[in-house]
Amino acid sequence: MCSRAAGRLHEPGLGHRAAHFYAAPYTADDRTGPGGGLLAEGEDIEVLEVAFDEALAMDRDGRIADGKTNMLLQWAALDGPFRRDAVTPT
C-alpha cells in the first residue's frame, strides 16, 4: 500500500515548483532490475540501500546533502515506518 509521505516541498530560488512524496514497502522479490533509472531517458540514478540509523547518521554528518532526502528521512522517523512508537517488540 502506498501512502503519502510528505506534503509540498517549495525550493526557494528555484521558482514555484512543488513536489509531492509517496512511500510504499517493498521486498527484494518486488524488484524487476538493479535500479538506476532508464538510460534511454538520460536517467543516472545511484541506488544505495543502508540501514535507517546509518541513513540518519549520513544526513547528520553531511554525506546526504539533498533536501528532498532529508525531508523524507524526517518523515520516516517522525510519522513513517521508523517512528519509535510504531515498532512493537517481539
Q: What is the pLDDT of residues 46-58, one digit of tens each?
A: 788 899 999 999 9
Q: Is the pLDDT of residue 71 over 80?
A: yes
Count up the domains in the chain and report the number: 1
Q: In whole angstroms, how far apart are CA 19 and each of 4, 11, 27, 33, 81?
A: 12, 9, 25, 26, 21
90 against 72, higher pLDDT: 72
Q: Does a structural domain hold residue 36? A: no
Q: Does a structural domain hold residue 83? A: yes
Contact 75, 5 (CB under 8 A): yes
Q: What range defines the domain where residue 86 resides?
A: 47-90
Please compute the mean of the pLDDT values over residues 62-77 and round it to a whole number: 89
Q: Does a structural domain hold residue 53? A: yes
Q: Does a structural domain hold residue 74? A: yes
Q: Is the pLDDT of residue 89 over 60?
A: no
Q: Does a structural domain hold residue 17? A: no
Contact 58, 66 (CB under 8 A): no
- DSSP tag of 13: T
| Cell output for 17 | 515548483
